[in-house]
């Protein structure tokens, strides 16, 4: 039985995200992707950037099975077996020295504690000058950037009241508390944003 899962939003946003990653990420290095979901992003990005070694992860067993199935189907040698990582854990058990950490569509579909855990963990595992890349819907200056995002937040909170569209300033403050600096805020399609944080250079 094919364990691959499919996310329609991945097909819609992957080209735009790839264009940012190709500029932000090094040509060679190690990437840790958190909450990798179906695995479609991981295999698409890894195929487009063969010099990068991709370590996908997800706390959901079904998602990890999908990631493994996509990796096998695409026959990619630069994608490792998915790990079970809870971003809130004090130790991600994934090693250190990553050039970048990615969290795509994670921050709004998780409790605020997950964002705090993301910042703490990224500060632990990233190299000096390494990048934390996040993507998704955000508020700016306390307000939604589009009516569709307000509707999206209502839907999120109907699933779990702990979920929500976070304000960029709050996410930045959480990052700053762990020594990460917000370097870029990039407008993306469908009222989303890419945020690029970096650890201090050596």
CA-based radius of gyration for the chain: 16
**Closest to 172 in 3D by CA, of 198, 145, 201:** 198
What confidence score (pLDDT) does residue 1 get? 67
Instruction: Give the helix ranges, DSSP H, for 51-199.
Output: 61-74, 112-125, 147-159, 168-176
- Contact indicator for 68, 37 with CB cutoff of 8 Å: no
Return averaged pLDDT per consecutive 10 residues of the chain, 202 residues in all.
85 94 97 96 97 97 96 95 96 95 97 98 98 97 94 95 97 98 96 97 80
Q: Kindly compute the dihedral angle of the four CA atoms of residues 6, 168, 95, 14, in this order, to the nearest 10 degrees.
A: 30
The fold adopted by the segment(s) 8-140+167-198 is Rossmann fold (3.40.50)
Chain Cα centroid distance, residue 132: 8
- Contact indicator for 198, 132 with CB cutoff of 8 Å: yes
User: Coil, helix or strand for 111?
Assistant: coil
pTM: 0.96
**Rounded to whole angstroms, how far apart are CA atoms 105 and 98?**
20
- State the DSSP string of 23-76: HHS-SSEEEEEES-TTSHHHHHHHHH-TTEEEEEB-S-HHHHHHHHHHHHHHT-
Residue 192 burial (C-beta neighbours within 10 Å; 0-12, 13-18, 19+): buried
**Paired tokens of 49:** 């950037």
């Amino acid at each position: 039985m094919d364990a691959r899962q499919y996310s329609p939003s991945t097909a819609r946003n992957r080209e735009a995200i790839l264009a940012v990653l190709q500029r932000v990420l090094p040509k060679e290095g190690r990437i840790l992707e958190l909450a990798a979901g179906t695995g479609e992003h991981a295999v698409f990005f890894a195929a487009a950037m063969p010099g990068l070694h991709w370590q996908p992860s997800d706390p959901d067993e079904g998602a990890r099975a999908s990631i493994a199935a996509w990796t096998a189907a695409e026959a990619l040698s630069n994608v490792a077996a998915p790990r079970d990582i809870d971003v809130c854990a004090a130790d991600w058990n994934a090693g250190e020295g990553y050039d970048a950490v990615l969290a795509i569509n994670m921050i709004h579909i998780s409790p605020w504690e997950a964002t705090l855990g993301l910042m703490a963990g990224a500060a632990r595992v990233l190299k000096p000058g390494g990048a934390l890349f996040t993507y998704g819907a955000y508020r700016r200056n306390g307000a939604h950037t589009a009516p569709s995002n307000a509707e999206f937040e209502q839907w999120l909170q109907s699933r779990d009241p702990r979920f929500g569209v976070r304000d960029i300033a709050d996410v930045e403050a959480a990052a700053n508390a762990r020594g990460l600096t917000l370097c870029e805020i990039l407008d993306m399609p469908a009222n989303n944003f890419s945020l690029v944080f970096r650890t201090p250079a050596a």
